[in-house]
């Protein structure tokens, strides 16, 4: 495999709105990010992915872009962006922007022009269909609920939006649209970006001709998955995208890829794949129900292990997955993958290491390094996220009481990850001097960066050790390129695997609060990492403490 500059890197996702507010308006911003670059450098981060900060009405928090060439004034200016790229470069860090090109905003000039002249050039930038009384063009349900079709203002047509109605889908079948997208990507890469995280990309190829699918809920609509399963030929778009943009710059690209077909993995992330990497969502989709969040099953430790190993096996050494335990679309990983009531520094560190040591690129979501947890909502009025609001309505329709529905959606709400970053125990967790746009998690007085910076036993310090191990010249080759082999796969509440390269490492996590005994298969040369101060080792037998995590050199 050709070695690439990003293979041994550690990435960190910033959700700009909630990271750090420099001017007291309650909204995080680019100058705020710049002021925290030293914090990230100290942690050991190399690549920073920014969730969108382009000009946007923020209907979906910036994933609805009204100008791809402008920074939204709430986040700062283009000068701030240039300064961020330059300041990152000084620290050997790379900035990734979020590439949101399945759709734009209904406030984008293209859409406005399509409304004025639906039969003209810009009408063909979107998917438009003639409006028929009492009949929709297709029965597709948008991801955020309701029909995926909406009236095109001022016309007798309707447009397709697979997400919110303020996010009209762009017509990738139109070469003129694709040219506009490539032009914009290259404009950004010319500025010195390291690359892009690519949003919702599997949606750009629709099954043509459009038609109805079997309804799967009482609303008579059908999940978009049915249509996407039928679509073929996305590779032509993605190959062209790579050739015309990323490849020319040796840029890093990571795709938000779902439901790829197994035989297509080499095309996606193999040598000269469409993307440098793609996210592993196997754990995040575990337990999901077609009925909605209210019907989802919790993820047990054994489920978590199985999902990680499945994903690892599927990819093997074809390429590199990007491993996450959470992002801005998910609840906090520690609240989800650690059984209820058992979140503690030890269990958080265990989860961190089990995920971090997998083969692939580790991505840390802001606050994950502090062990930030899910928040609580006193009422649905405290929720901002459009998908949580939709899932709440859905739960009520299914017959849940308001209290049950709130409890059900609280577990999965995207707002869990979007509460302000907890910098200190000062007012508003040190995030802003004004009123934060979203309520701060009440536990900030105990979970915050200031308290963890100088504490050698903090969750953050443990992340630093994990990052340092990945970069240690003695172990880097094995941690980055080594193969992964599960051990004791059938043992309940135990997740363990080898990483084998020029060294042999054994990662062991006792995924329960009770002790558990294991017999090592061979002699241990060295303990590289331990989330406890001691290890109860008797010959080759180790009695693991609850949630003990060990990384051993064998
Ligand atoms: C992706 C983003 C999510 C957004 C959606 C529509 O899934 O991660 O936040 O709502 O795309 O752009
Ligand atoms: Ca601000």
**Beta-carbon count within 10 A of 87 CB:** 16
Euclidean distance between the first and final Cα of the chain, in Å? 26
List pLDDT tens digits, range 185-226: 999 999 999 999 999 999 999 999 999 999 999 899 999 999
Query: Helix (H, G, I), strand (E, B), or coil: what is residue 131?
Result: coil
**Beta-carbon count within 10 A of 30 CB:** 26
Q: Is residue 336 very low, low, confident or very high in pLDDT (cuts 50, 70, 90)? A: very high
Average pLDDT (134-149) is: 96
Tell me what pLDDT residue 105 has. Answer: 99
* CA of 329, closest atom in ligand 1: 9
Q: Which residues, other chains included, contact 520 with Cβ-Cβ below 8 Å and sequence gap of 6+?
A: 506, 540, 541, 542, 552, 554
For ligand 1, whether the C-beta of 199 sits within 6 Å is yes
| Closest ligand to Cα 433 | 2
Instruction: Confirm if 141 and 222 have CB atoms less than 8 A apart.
Output: yes
Tell me what the pLDDT averaged over the chain comes to.
97
- Best residue among 57, 329, 412 to mutate for probing ligand 1, ranked by most atoms within 8 Å of CB: 329
Residue nearest to atom 11 of ligand 1 (CA): 200
Which residues are found with C-beta within 5 Å of the ion, ligand 2? 21, 23, 25, 27, 29
> Angle of helix 175-190 relative to helix 234-244, nearest 10 degrees?
40
- Give distance in angstroms: CA of 29 to centre of ligand 2: 5
Residue nearest to atom 3 of ligand 1 (CA): 329
Average pLDDT (28-36) is: 98
Instruction: Confirm if 342 and 350 have CB atoms less than 8 A apart.
Output: no
Q: Is residue 14 very low, low, confident or very high in pLDDT (cuts 50, 70, 90)? A: very high
Residue from 106, 199, 267, 326 carrying the catalytic annotation:
199
- Is 199 among the catalytic positions? yes
Tell me what pLDDT residue 208 has. Answer: 97
Q: Is residue 243 very low, low, confident or very high in pLDDT (cuts 50, 70, 90)? A: very high
Structure tokens at 230: 């039928």
Q: Is residue 261 very low, low, confident or very high in pLDDT (cuts 50, 70, 90)? A: confident
- Give distance in angstroms: CA of 222 to centre of ligand 1: 20
For ligand 1, whether the C-beta of 258 sits within 6 Å is no
List pLDDT tens digits, range 482-516: 999 999 999 999 999 999 999 999 999 999 999 99
Residue 1 pLDDT exceeds 90? no
- Give distance in angstroms: CA of 186 to centre of ligand 1: 22
Structure tokens at 329: 């679309």
| Closest ligand to Cα 75 | 2
* CA of 100, closest atom in ligand 1: 12
Q: The dihedral of CA 378, 384, 388, 390: what is its sign?
A: positive
Average pLDDT (284-311) is: 97
Whose tokens are 């690439």? That residue is: 4
- Is 256 among the catalytic positions? yes
pTM summary value: 0.98
For ligand 1, whether the C-beta of 392 sits within 6 Å is no
- Give distance in angstroms: CA of 74 to centre of ligand 2: 6
Residue 326 vs residues 29, 181, 302, 373, 483: alpha-carbon distances, Å: 22, 28, 18, 11, 24
In DSSP terms, which residues pair with 505 in a beta bridge?
499, 553
399 φ/ψ sector (left φ>0, alpha ψ -120 to 50, else beta): left
Q: Where are the beta strands (DSSP E) in 384-503?
A: 483-487, 494-500
List pLDDT tens digits, range 78-135: 999 999 999 999 999 999 999 999 999 999 999 999 999 999 999 999 999 999 999 9
């Amino acid at each position: 495999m050709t070695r690439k500059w990003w293979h041994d890197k550690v990435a960190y996702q910033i959700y700009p709105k909630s990271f750090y507010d420099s001017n007291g308006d309650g909204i995080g911003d680019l100058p705020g990010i710049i002021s925290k670059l030293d914090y990230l450098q100290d942690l050991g981060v190399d690549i920073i992915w920014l969730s969108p900060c382009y000009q946007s009405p923020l209907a979906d928090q910036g994933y609805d872009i009204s100008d791809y060439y402008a920074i939204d004034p709430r986040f700062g200016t283009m000068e701030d962006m240039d300064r961020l790229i330059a300041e990152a470069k000084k620290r050997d860090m790379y900035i990734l922007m979020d590439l949101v090109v399945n759709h734009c905003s209904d406030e984008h000039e293209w859409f406005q022009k399509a409304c004025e002249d639906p039969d003209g050039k810009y009408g063909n930038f979107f998917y438009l269909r003639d409006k028929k009384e009492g009949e929709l063009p297709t029965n597709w349900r948008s991801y955020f609920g309701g029909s995926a079709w909406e009236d095109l203002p001022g016309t007798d047509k309707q447009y397709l939006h697979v997400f919110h109605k303020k996010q009209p889908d762009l017509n990738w079948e139109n070469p003129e649209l694709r040219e506009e997208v490539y032009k914009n990507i290259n404009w950004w890469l010319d500025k010195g970006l390291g690359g892009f995280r690519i949003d919702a990309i599997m949606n750009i190829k629709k099954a043509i001709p459009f038609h109805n699918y079997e309804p799967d809920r009482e609303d008579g609509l059908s999940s978009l998955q049915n249509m996407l399963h039928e679509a073929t030929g996305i590779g032509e778009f993605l190959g062209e995208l790579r050739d015309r943009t990323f490849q020319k710059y040796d840029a890093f690209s990571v795709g938000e890829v779902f439901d790829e077909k197994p035989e297509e993995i080499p095309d996606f992330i193999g040598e000269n794949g469409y993307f440098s990497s793609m996210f592993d969502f196997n754990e995040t989709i575990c337990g999901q129900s077609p009925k909605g969040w209210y019907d989802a099953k919790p993820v047990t430790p054994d489920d978590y292990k199985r999902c990680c190993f499945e994903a690892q096996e599927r990819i093997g050494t074809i390429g590199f997955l990007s491993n996450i335990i959470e992002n801005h679309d998910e609840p906090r990983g520690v609240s989800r993958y650690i059984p209820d009531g058992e979140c503690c520094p030890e269990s958080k560190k265990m989860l961190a290491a089990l995920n971090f040591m997998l083969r692939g690129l580790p991505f840390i979501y802001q606050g994950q390094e502090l062990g930030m947890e899910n928040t609580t909502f006193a009422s649905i009025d405290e929720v901002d996220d459009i998908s949580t609001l939709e899932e709440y309505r859905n739960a009520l329709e299914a017959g849940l009481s308001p209290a049950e529905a709130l409890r059900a959606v609280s577990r999965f709400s995207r707002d869990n990850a979007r509460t302000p970053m907890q910098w200190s125990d000062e007012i508003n967790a040190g995030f802003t001097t004004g009123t934060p746009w979203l309520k701060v998690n009440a536990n900030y007085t105990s979970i915050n960066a200031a308290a963890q910076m100088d504490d050698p036993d903090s969750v953050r310090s443990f992340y630093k050790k994990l990052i340092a191990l990945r970069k240690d010249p003695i172990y880097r080759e094995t941690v980055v390129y080594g193969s992964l082999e599960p051990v004791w796969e059938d043992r309940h509440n135990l997740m363990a695997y080898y990483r084998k390269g020029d060294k042999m490492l054994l990662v062991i996590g006792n995924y329960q609060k009770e002790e558990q005994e294991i017999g090592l298969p061979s002699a241990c040369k060295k303990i590289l990492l331990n989330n406890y101060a001691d290890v109860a080792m008797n010959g080759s037998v180790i009695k693991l403490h609850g949630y003990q995590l060990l990384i051993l050199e064998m």
